[in-house]
Structure 1
């Protein structure tokens, strides 16, 4: 793992478990630093970003369900939900192409 190798190259004697914990802290701090400027700049932006992240996560989950779920009507409703979630995310990305900071915050929020 590059992260552990880099830490050890800098003289830290660290276990893999400790390195993993430090890496998780670093990733969380980085994501927070990407998202916080947006949250401070626009009051409602954080709600929108959280809702969009939910839409994207739901859509990804529904990709797994639509291949395996046997009940036709429920599967049909899931497919409609997936389509609408994808539309919401696509429209957000189109509408905010000129604001790379907002798009970057959205990308990092999706992965939290």
Structure 2
């Protein structure tokens, strides 16, 4: 199941609630020849890595004190990406990775 919302200006958001694979398939169908951007937290990134659909990954890192957090690469022995750009500011670091090979 999914719901589409059209914002002022024409931007369309598609909300798919039956799992990552269904959401990604819908995104690819909707994008046509354009690329698909995936945004989300650690769980979303892990699912995208597991599905092997990421060519480029940007991590935005902002220090936050937490009791515990989600490990983005939990259960992975290799990463398969290399850093190609690092940007920083006083409050955050942004690292862009590309798939190796």
TM-score tier, shorter chain, comes to under 0.3
Q: Which has the larger radius of gyration?
A: 1
Higher strand fraction (1 or 2):
2
TM-score by length of 2: 0.22
Higher helix fraction (1 or 2):
1
